[in-house]
Amino acid sequence: EAGVAQSPRYKIIEKRQSVAFWCNPISGHATLYWYQQILGQGPKLLIQFQNNGVVDDSQLPKDRFSAERLKGVDSTLKIQPAKLEDSAVYLCASSLTGTSSGEGSNEQFFGPGTRLTVL
């Protein structure tokens, strides 16, 4: 079974530029998550989708970050304009559901991440 796919793996941009990341979740997984991991810290949730609807974007800096999951499968995360403090690894994860409605149904699986450096 294929895992969560992400691209690109690495991106270097200058501040005030824009950047976009792509994620393809595990087939059949309804719930998709974007996390930000700053060096030396644990990942923190940016946004969570259930199918193509947003269920939690409380930690997303909406003045510069946006995300969409138009057909309930792939998702893109965009930053415009980027700041130096956005340098981090952006991780995408997916799960069958967002709740524990069945054994392991809310277990999350992570992609390899995109390492963003903002100069």
Name the residues that contact other proteins, by CB under 8 A.
31, 33, 35, 37, 41-45, 48, 50, 55-56, 58, 89, 91, 93, 95, 97-100, 104, 106-110, 112-113, 115
User: Is residue 15 within 8 Å of residue 91, measured between CB atoms?
Assistant: no
In sequence order, what are the residues at sequence separation of 6 or more whose Cβ sits closer than 8 angstroms to the Cβ of residue 112? 6, 9
Based on CB atoms, which residue is closest to other proteins, 33 or 65? Answer: 33
Based on CB atoms, which residue is closest to other proteins, 30 or 81? Answer: 30
Q: Residue 85 CB, nearest distance to other proteins (Å)?
A: 19
Based on CB atoms, which residue is closest to other proteins, 18 or 99? Answer: 99
Amino acid in position 88: A
82: helix, strand or coil: coil
Q: Residue 75 CB, nearest distance to other proteins (Å)?
A: 15
Neighbours of 82 (CB within 10 A): 23
Based on CB atoms, which residue is closest to other proteins, 22 or 109? Answer: 109
